[in-house]
Amino acid sequence: MSPARLSSRLFSPALPGFDEAAALVTSCAAKVVRLHTGQRSSGIERVRLNQAIGRVLAEPLLADAEQPPFARSTRDGFACRAAEASTHRPLSVAGTTRAGQASSGPLPRGAAWEIMTGAPIPSGADAVIMLEHTIESGAPAEESGAASARAIRLMPSRTIRKGENIVGRGAQAHKGDKLLPPGSLIGAAQIALAASCGSNSLPVFLRPRVAILSTGDELVPISSTPGPSQIRNSSSAMLAAMVTAAGADPWILPIARDTAESLDAALARARAADLLLITGGVSAGKFDLVEPALIRAGARFHFTGVRIQPGKPLVFAEFRRGSTNPAQNESRTKYCFGLPGNPVSSAVTFLLFAAPLIAALAGRRNFGPRFALAHLAEDVKTKPGLTRFLPATCTFAGSEPSVALVPWQGSGDLAAMARANCFLAVPEDAHRLRPGTTVRILLP
Ligand code: AMP
Ligand code: MG
């Protein structure tokens, strides 16, 4: 669906399938990422390395020096000339270098040099024999001149090639190399890399703020005791956790009631956020008033439903604030999801559509939903027509991931979802999936 099909009115064309809806959200996310690329320091802050986990790098990380800074041994063993060691004749041990000691050598002809992991290779050596591949033997008298001198030789069953167990100076990176591009998600490995370059802090994109607006006359806050026909608002807390995991700051708004006034007031407030998540009120019921409220607020719809289950009534819309400059218009676009109220529907549609857009808003280059492949452990009978995402458990114990459904009572079944660790994706055209089939799973 192109933006030309954006509609400012309620409409019910044939619903897009999952792939079509996902492609549309992806194209919006790609626009958001392009905006980030052009962003200046206003959208950037510096955080200390120990605060950087889960943040998104805003500037390239450059190598401050050659990596490694010297040719180093990757093993405890003996530096040697591979050609000499390959004769399997004894090599007298000419010296020892520990990690942290200055580079040593030169290595005399017919000799080996005892070396520890991480130590600089003595000049003249071109390989390191692992300690476990050597035999200690008496030194050849004519070379060592001392009967007690140590000598080693390569085990007869072993071979050694030039360069073995040595990482050359600059083999991993040269000074000034771009080690990580902006848009990289910062995890433990990226923190280690920054630390190795002497960075105590990193420039990261500001976290986007995501408004969470749960709607429904039956909802009460978590700390309240629900009346006979009320339920606690569990979805705001769940979505706040999901928003945090996706790299944004959640902003939970007070519950909105199923009235035009309550929704209008809440929407007016929520639009201060970078992205708006509404839950509930998007189905076909008489009191599902979110879509009309979005229209009054000036939203235009990308879609008002998707051929998926759970989550079919999902709404994806945008607000634009008037400007004749298209570039400015782009940066003023705000996206909004109307997630179906049932908690499992909210969770599935969040993972499929909202999480990628949030990741893009956070500045990430890779923002798709997380799918993996697994083997189906049971027979699954289904009805075609909708792509289904069913709560499931994937076990990683065997040689291949194996997935089985969690019994559930429909998309309000929070307990079933809490026992699951993924969702089994059932293709739209499937009638039955047999045990052993390779299937896709959606990961949280
Ligand atoms: P709706 O989409 O508004 O028709 O809601 C569908 C179902 O989800 C209803 O049973 C609601 O009570 C339930 N529901 C809606 N919002 C929430 C929420 N924030 N927390 C828990 N359940 C909800
Ligand atoms: Mg409702």
For the chain, the structural domain boundaries read: 3-43+206-361, 72-167, 371-442
Question: How far does the centroid of ligand 2 lie from the alpha carbon of residue 262, in Å?
Answer: 13
Question: How far does the centroid of ligand 2 lie from the alpha carbon of residue 304, in Å?
Answer: 16
Please indicate whether residue 363, judged by its CB atom, sits closer than 6 Å to ligand 1: no
Q: What is the pTM of this model?
A: 0.89
Question: How far does the centroid of ligand 2 lie from the alpha carbon of residue 93, in Å?
Answer: 80
Q: Which of 65-74, 101-110, 252-261, 375-384 has the lowest mean pLDDT?
A: 101-110
Q: Is the pLDDT confidence value at 163 over 60?
A: yes
Please indicate whether residue 311, judged by its CB atom, sits closer than 6 Å to ligand 1: no
E strand spans, 248-386: 249-252, 275-279, 300-303, 308-309, 315-319, 334-339, 371-376, 380-381
Q: What pLDDT, on a 0 to 100 scale, did the predictor assign at position 137?
A: 81
Task: Give the CATH number of domain 72-167; options: 2.40.30.10, 3.20.20.70, 3.40.920.10, 2.170.190.11.
Answer: 2.170.190.11
Report which ligand 1 atom has the smallest distance to the Cα of 279.
16
Which residues have CB less than 5 Å away from ligand 2 (the ion)?
216, 280-281, 341
**267 token code pair:** 């929407």
Q: What pLDDT, on a 0 to 100 scale, did the predictor assign at position 2?
A: 44
pLDDT digit string, tens, across residues 374-383: 999 999 999 9
Please indicate whether residue 235, judged by its CB atom, sits closer than 6 Å to ligand 1: yes
Please indicate whether residue 279, judged by its CB atom, sits closer than 6 Å to ligand 1: yes
Cβ(414)–Cβ(361) below 8 Å: no
Q: Which of 28-32, 143-147, 350-354 has the lowest mean pLDDT?
A: 143-147
Please indicate whether residue 310, judged by its CB atom, sits closer than 6 Å to ligand 1: no
Q: What pLDDT, on a 0 to 100 scale, did the predictor assign at position 1?
A: 45
Please indicate whether residue 122, judged by its CB atom, sits closer than 6 Å to ligand 1: no
Report which ligand 1 atom has the smallest distance to the Cα of 215.
16
Confidence bin at 3 (pLDDT 50/70/90): very low
Specify the CATH superfamily of domain 3-43+206-361: MoaB/Mog-like domain (3.40.980.10)
Please indicate whether residue 346, judged by its CB atom, sits closer than 6 Å to ligand 1: no
Nearest ligand by distance to the CA of 234: 1
Task: Compute the average pLDDT of residues 147-173.
Answer: 93
Domain 371-442, architecture per CATH:
Beta Barrel (2.40)
Angle at 405 between CA 401 and CA 408, to 5 degrees: 150
Please indicate whether residue 345, judged by its CB atom, sits closer than 6 Å to ligand 1: no
pLDDT digit string, tens, across residues 382-425: 999 999 999 999 999 888 999 999 999 999 999 999 999 999 99
**Reading across the β-sheet that carries 111-115, which strands appear in turn?**
127-130, 77-80, 111-115, 91-97, 150-154, 134-138
Q: What pLDDT, on a 0 to 100 scale, did the predictor assign at position 162?
A: 97
Q: What is the mean pLDDT of the chain?
A: 92
Question: How far does the centroid of ligand 1 lie from the alpha carbon of residue 216, in Å?
Answer: 7
Task: Compute the average pLDDT of residues 354-374.
Answer: 94
**115 token code pair:** 């070396």
